[in-house]
Every structure is written in C-alpha cells, then in structure tokens.
Structure 1
Amino acid sequence: MEWLKWIGEHFIGMFQAGGETFMGMFTGIIPTLVVLLTFTYAVIKFIGEERVNRAIQFASKYMLLRYTVMPILSVLLLTNPMCYTFGRFLPEKQKPAFYDSAVSFVHPVTALFPYANAGELFVYLGIANGIKEAGYSMSELAVRYFLVGIAVILLRGIITEYITKFLARRMEAKS
C-alpha cells in the first residue's frame, strides 16, 4: 500500500507544480503578451487596415519583399496560425513558398514578439534560460534569432518558389 500513497502524493504534486508554473506566467509573461497584442492592433487601427493591405499587395510583387516583409508582417499582425492568410494576395504558384517562409518565421519571432506565437514561447524560454545561465545576454539572443530568421525565410521562400516552378513545369510536360 505504500506505492499507492506514493502515487497519490506525486500525482497531485504534478498538478501543483503545473499550477505554480501557470501562476508564474500569469503574473509574468501573460500581461506582457496582452500589452504587445493590444499595441499591435492599435497600430493597425491607426495606420488603417486598407493601407496595411495595400502594403502587403505591394510587397507581394517583389521576391525580396515577398519572402521577408510579407511573412514578418503577417506573423506580427495576425499571429500564428492566421498569418498564413496573407497568401491570399499571391498567385497560386507563389503560395507554397510564402507558406514556407511564414511557417519558418513563427519560431524566430517569438524572442522579440512572444504574442505572435505563444506556443513556441516555451521552446525559446528553455533555450534562453540556458543561455542566461551560461552568462550570455538573452537580448542578444533574441535579436540574433530574429535576424537569422529573416535570412532563413528569404532563402526558404526563394528555394521553395523555384522548386514549385520546376515541379509545375514538369507536371505540365507530362500532361
């Protein structure tokens, strides 16, 4: 019967630890997320939704902007998973590359803008805490994540667009 007591104590202990973690977030990161999200929506309202849409349509015309500005704005303004809807401004042949860019940016953006993809926050914080314990700056890590993320989404977008074009030509040749 000792094992039953052990299971009971540790089973509830797991939930108590989860509750403590939740309360830590509720008094720590959650207010920050709410303020960041409110700020983003306020900026959109001040600029105007139509102007934001026109900026995205302009960015969709140029490859460099299509795989940097578009995914960045989509993730910051609409957050994950709604950010993928910015693909509506693109022709079908460019949608896979945009999706690849956007989905690749939802992790790097978490360091500076945690509201954009709160599900990835736990991954980032795990890495950041290790960096902090090693004596390095979490701010530098956040900026580096963001900048490397931009380079990665540009490369992925360009490569995926060329792969999509190649496969489309191949399918046309077969039919």
Structure 2
Amino acid sequence: MQWIEWFGEHFIGLFNAGGEQFMSLFTSIVPTLVVLLTFTYAMIKFIGDDRVTKGIQFASKYMILRYTLMPILSILLLTNPMAYTFGRFVKEEQKPAFFDSLVSFLHPVTSLFPYANAGELFVYLGIANGIAQAGYSQSELAVRYFLVAILIILIRGVITEQITKYLARRMANSAVKE
C-alpha cells in the first residue's frame, strides 16, 4: 500500500511543480511580453500602417533586405505564426527563400524579443540558464545570438533563392522537352 501513497504524493507533486513554474513565468516574463507587444503595436500606429506596408514592399525588391529586414520586421511586428503573411510582398519564386529565412529566425528572435515567438522561449531560456550557470553573461549571449541569426538568415535566403531558380529552370526545360 505504500506505493499508492507514493504515487498520490508524486502525482500531485508533478502538478504542483507545473503550477509553480507557471506562476514564476507569469510574474517574470509575461509582463515583459505584454509591454514589448504594446510597444511594437504603438510604433506601427505612430508610423502608420500605410508607411509600414510601403516600407516592406520597398524592402522586398532587394535581396539583402528581403532576407534580413523583412523576416526581422515580420516576426517583430506580427509574431509567429502571422509573420508568414509578409510573404505576400515577395514574388512567387522568392517565397521559398523568404520562408526559409523567416523560419530560421523564429528561434533566435526570442533572445531579445521573447514575445515574437513564445513557443521557442523555453528552448532559449534553457540555453541562457546554462550560460548563466557557467558564469557568462546572458545579455551578451542574446545580442550575439541575434546578430549571428541575421547573417544566417541572409545566407539561407540567398542560397534557397538560387536553388529555387535552378529547379524552376530545370522544370521549365523538362516541360519543353515533353
């Protein structure tokens, strides 16, 4: 009968630990997320929806902006999963590359802007807590993580765009032969 008592204590203990974790997040990160999100939407309203849209359309014309600025802004302004809607500003043959650069940025964005992709926050916090326990700065990690991610999304976007062009040409050539 001891196993029933042990199971009962540990079963409810699991939920107690989950509740404690939830409350620690609710009193630490949730207020920060709300303020960051409010700030982002306030900036859009101050700048104006039309100006933001025109700026994104401008950025979509240039490869370096299409695979750096656009994914960053889409995630910061719309968050995940709405960020994918910025794909409407790029040409059809550029959509795979835009999507690749966008999804590659969904995890690193949480280092400085945790509201942008809350689903990935736990992964980043696990890494950041390990860095802190090792005696290193979490702030330095966050900035480096963010900056390296910008370089990575640019590289991925450019490479994926080139692969997409190659495959489109190849498909066009094979369709002509048939």
Q: TM-score range by the shorter chain?
A: over 0.9
Structure 1 vs Structure 2 CA RMSD? 0.6
Which amino acid in 2 is paired with 1:105?
F
What is the deviation of 1:91?
1.0
- Amino acid in the other structure paired with 2:169: R
Question: CA deviation digits over 1:88-114, x for unaligned, max 9?
Answer: 011110000000001110111101000
**TM score, norm. by length of structure 2:** 0.97
- Normalization by structure 1: what TM-score? 0.99
Unaligned runs of 5+ in 1: none
SS in 2 for 1:95: helix
Other structure's SS at 2:80 match: coil
Q: Which residue of 2 aligns with 1:22?
A: 22
Equivalences, count: 175
In 1, Cα distance between equivalents of 2:142 and 2:152: 15
Distance, in Å, in 2 between the alignment partners of 1:18 and 1:28 is: 15
Q: Is residue 7 of structure 1 aligned with residue 35 of structure 2?
A: no
Q: Structure 2: 5+ residue runs without aligned partners?
A: none
Counterpart in 1 of 2:63? 63
**Deviation at 1:6?**
1.3
Identity %: 76
Name the residue aligned to 1:141.
141
What does residue 38 of structure 1 align with? 38
1:119 matched to which residue of 2?
Answer: 119
Q: Which residue in 2 is equivalent to 1:156?
A: 156
